[in-house]
Amino acid sequence: MHTLKALIAKDSFIVLVDQVISSGTNFCLTLMLAQKLDIKSFGLYSSIVLLLYLAVSIMNALVIQPFQVMVVKIEKKKQYITALFLGIVLLLFIPPVLMVILSHYFIETSLFPVSTGALICFVTGFLINDFFRKLLLGLSRIKTVLTMDILFLVLVVLVLNKVNLSQVLIIIGLSNLIATLPGFLFMMNNYEKPLLWRLYAAAHLKQGKWLFSVAVVQWSSSNFFILIAGVYLGIEALGALRLVQSFFGIINIGLQTIENYFLPKIALLYHHNVTVAKEYLLRLTFVGAIIFGLLTLIFFIFSNQIIVLAGGQKYQHYGYVIKMVAVLYFFIFLGYPIRIAVRILMLNKIFFMGYLFSFSTSLVTFHFLLKYSGLYGAVTGLIINQIIMILYWKYQLHKKQFQLWK
């Protein structure tokens, strides 16, 4: 009992619980929408979420990712945190402006029957919530993040019972905004006039100039095949592929925990002792490999049953996609320790080049893979992308004489 209490009291355990709640909520929300919405509407929702991930990646590159490795070195943390918040508020004005402009051409038409106001609400709520989650996790304010995620879960469960896509977007957006209240209270209690904001901005721009490029290329590398699949194979195929990827969000619980919590911790260890940081990363990888391997094996074996359970009988012909994505995630996990090593060494140019090579391969191969292999080709392209990045990053780390294992 004493050991159990000690485990529950650990920050790492609370982070894992929070990630389970966050990813579990998004996972269940996706399954519910896949079942309630028709295939075309779910495909449109999936397209919106994919484009939203691009905005998240860009904001993370300019704000969150530099913060994750810089926060351990900053002395005036309250000024720094305030500057970050004001910076993200300014960036949040960009997506609504773009949506208003695009609304004259694409939004609220027969091809894209979603109201501009619903999109703005959805995007703004999602982005501000994402910012506070990652900021507070990096500051080890884990209980505050847990409160936010539980609040969002409760709001969505109580309110979301509509099947109209615009109504769904408004409800999710408002739920995210309300759930962010603990984050705003944290900012009010820790506000300090950011006199050094120019210094912080310069540091973020120095780190973010490559990370911004990485964000765009990384998103393109990861999602290019999915979006093009919607063009080549129809919006329904895009929805089916996104449904399968969302189901693998169970595995993303561990990967996102590493990215949001353990990466800053490993960076801090590396700052003090390189050997200890490597050993910690290897232990984390070993434990993750066991859990990860069991989950992907289960998904691979029961793929047909899982796809029907996730989306209903209308998706029964897409069971093979789960098998393919299980193989994809094997390569994703294989490259994660290498990815973390590149991040903590702040080799941002190398990070960018890995994704650039990957995306370039996508541009060369997508037509052949999608035309002759359909969704098999789409997932095969994503697997090829992962292999190229792993090999390139491993080669560059070897040149820097950084080896995780011998």
State the pLDDT at residue 181: 92
Number of domains, the chain? 1
Question: Coil, strand or helix: which one is 112?
Answer: coil
Residue 232 within a domain? yes
State the pLDDT at residue 11: 65
State the pLDDT at residue 111: 54
Residue closest to 36 by CA, chosen among 245, 305, 316, 311: 311
Residue 375 within a domain? yes
State the pLDDT at residue 223: 81
Other residues' Cβ atoms within 10 Å of the Cβ of residue 70: 18
State the pLDDT at residue 113: 66
State the pLDDT at residue 50: 85
Residue 4 within a domain? no
Pairwise CA distance, residues 352 & 212, whole Å = 9
Pairwise CA distance, residues 85 & 88, whole Å = 5
State the pLDDT at residue 295: 81
Owner of token pair 């910076």: 87
Q: pLDDT tens digits, the chain, 406 residues: what are they?
A: 555 555 555 666 777 788 778 877 887 888 888 888 887 788 888 888 888 888 888 888 888 888 887 877 777 888 888 888 888 888 888 887 777 776 666 655 555 667 778 888 999 999 999 999 988 888 878 888 889 999 988 888 777 776 678 888 888 999 999 999 999 999 888 888 888 888 888 888 887 877 787 788 878 877 887 888 877 877 777 888 888 877 776 676 667 666 666 777 777 777 777 778 777 777 877 777 787 788 888 888 888 888 888 787 888 888 888 888 888 888 888 787 888 888 878 777 788 888 888 889 888 988 888 888 888 888 888 899 889 988 998 888 888 777 665 5
Contact 137, 183 (CB under 8 A): no
Pairwise CA distance, residues 93 & 123, whole Å = 11
DSSP 36-91: HS-HHHHHHHHHHHHHHHHHHHHHIIIIIHHHHHHTTT-S-HHHHHHHHHHHHHHH
Q: What one-letter code names the amino acid at 312?
A: G
Residue 2 within a domain? no
State the pLDDT at residue 139: 83
Residue 254 within a domain? yes
Pairwise CA distance, residues 180 & 238, whole Å = 31
Residue 188 within a domain? yes
Residue 262: DSSP 8-state: I
Instruction: Give me the domain span that covers residue 141.
Output: 10-399
Reading the block at residue 275, the tokens are: 């050997």
**What's the CA dihedral at 285, 291, 293, 299 to 10 degrees?**
-140
Pairwise CA distance, residues 373 & 128, whole Å = 39
Other residues' Cβ atoms within 10 Å of the Cβ of residue 229: 26
State the pLDDT at residue 249: 66
* C-alpha distance from residue 88 to each of 60, 63, 344, 366 (Å): 10, 7, 23, 35
Residue 334 within a domain? yes
Torsion over CA: 191, 193, 196, 202 (sign): positive
Pairwise CA distance, residues 231 & 72, whole Å = 45
Contact 304, 355 (CB under 8 A): no
